[in-house]
Amino acid sequence: MEQTASSVDIRELNERINQQSAFIDLLMMELNKAVVGQKHMVERLLIGLLANGHVLLEGVPGLAKTLAIKSLAAAIHGRFARIQFTPDLLPADVLGTMIYNPQEHKFAVRKGPIFANFVLADEINRAPAKVQSALLEAMQEKQVTIGDYTYKLEEPFLVLATQNPIEQEGTYELPEAQVDRFMLKVVISYPRQEEEKQIIRYNLNPQGMAKINPVVTTDDIIKARKLVREVYMDEKIEQYILDIVFATRFPEDYKLPRLKPLISYGASPRASISLALAAKAYAFIKRRGYVIPEDVRAVCHDVMRHRIGITYEAEAENVTSVNILNEILNSVEVP
C-alpha cells in the first residue's frame, strides 16, 4: 500500500493507533503483577510480539526471564509450550515424530511442543546444534516438516528463548544462522535495590503471587501486527537505518576506518528489515503513527548486537559489538 506523508493521513493513522494500542496498557498491567522492574525486557517482548519477531533473552539466572515469558503467554488467550533444553534432547522432542500404530498398521504423526502460539525455549544453549537447528524451519518458514508431511504453524507463532551467559561447560554456542533469526537479543541486567526489595515482598506474600488474567486474544495481536506495518516511516528514516547497517559492513565509507579490523562480518539484510519493523513496533507501543530517529536508536542495540561479528583483534582489545554500535550511532548523521 502506497503511503503518503500528508498530515491528514498521519493524523488519522495516529488516532487509529491510539485507539487500537490501548491493549498495550492492559498487557503491561498484567505483566507488572508478576515482573518487578525490567521495563526494558517487557517492552522488548512486546516489540517481538507486535513485529512478529523471535526474541532471545540473555542474563544470569534469577532475573525473571522465564517468568516474564510465561506471564506474557498467560496474559494472551493463546497456547503456550515450554521446552527445557538439555544436552540429551532430540529434534523429535521439539518437533514431534512418526509413531507406529499397531492396530491400524500405519504410522501416525505425534506433534511436538513446537505446535503452540508461544514457545519458551528455556536455556537454548544447553542443547546441541542439531536440536537448535530443528527450530530453524519453524522460526523462519512458520512450518514444521515431520516425515513426508509439512504442517503450517498457527499464528501468532513466537519463539522466546533464554540463555545463560556465565556457564560455558555443557553449553553449545548458538550458530550464527540461528542467532540471525532472532529479531532481538536482549541482555538483562540486575534489578535496582528498590526493585529487589519489592521482589522479596512479592515472594514472601502470604497470599502468594498475583494471578495473571488473559486480557488480549490472538486475533487482537494479529490485527495489531497489520497496523504496526502501516506505521508511517519517512524515507529519511529508511536511509538512517541503511546508513547504520552499511556502516557495520563498510565502516571506512562512514569515516570509521578504525572499526575495519575489529569487524569480521557486518549485519545482514535481516538486520535492516528487523530494525525497521522493531522501530515501527516501538512507535506503536508509544502510541504514535510515525517513526522518529529516537525509535530507531532505542531498538538498535537489541536488533544489531548479535548480528555483528567481531575479530580476535577486537576481543584482544576488549571491544564488543555494543562498543562498535555506539561508535556507529555517534558517527552516522541523524535525520
- The whole-angstrom separation of Cα 44 and Cα 297 is 14
Q: What phi and psi, each to the nearest 5 degrees, are found at residue 307?
A: -110, 5
The per-residue b/e assignment along 147-183, b for 16 or more CB within 10 angstroms, e otherwise, is eeeebebeebbbbbbbbbeeeeeebbebeeebebbbb
φ, ψ (nearest 5 deg) of residue 91: -55, -35
Within-domain flag for 300: yes
Q: What is the largest CA-CA distance in the chain?
A: 71
19, three cell numbers: 485507539
Inter-residue contact 279 to 240 (CB < 8 Å): no
* Burial class, 61, CB count within 10 angstroms (exposed 0-12 / middle 13-18 / buried 19+): exposed
91-105, 157-171, 243-257, 265-279: which range is least confident on average?
157-171
CA distance 22 to 31: 15
> What was the pLDDT predicted at 165?
76
CATH number, domain of 237, equals: 1.10.8.80
Number of structural domains the chain divides into: 2
Evaluate whether residue 214 is within a structural domain: no
The per-residue pLDDT for 18 is 81
Domain span at 72:
35-204
Same structural domain, 17 and 77: no
Partner residues linked to 151 by β-bridges: 144
263 contact partners, CB below 8 Å, separation of at least 6: 248, 251, 308, 309, 310, 311, 314, 324
- 2-11, 133-142, 245-254, 256-265: segment of lowest average pLDDT: 2-11
What is the per-residue pLDDT for 283?
A: 92
Domain identity same for 254 and 326: yes
Are both 126 and 9 inside the same structural domain?
A: no
Q: DSSP per residue over 45-81, as a string?
A: HHHHHHHT-EEEEE--TTSSHHHHHHHHHHTEES-EE
Residue at 61: amino acid letter? P
At 106, which CATH number?
A: 3.40.50.300
* Cβ-contact 42, 31 below 8 angstroms: yes
Residues 239 and 308 in one domain: yes
CB 99 within 8 A of CB 89: no
Q: Supply the pLDDT for residue 169.
A: 62
Q: Is residue 238 part of a domain?
A: yes
Residue 298 lies in a domain: yes
For residue 86 the three cell numbers come to 538439555
Query: Residue 168 pLDDT more than 80?
Result: no
Judge whether 212 lies within some domain: no
In DSSP notation, 107-121 reads EEEEE-TTSSSEEEE
pTM of the model: 0.87
Using the predicted structure, report yes or no on whether residue 124 has a pLDDT greater than 60: yes
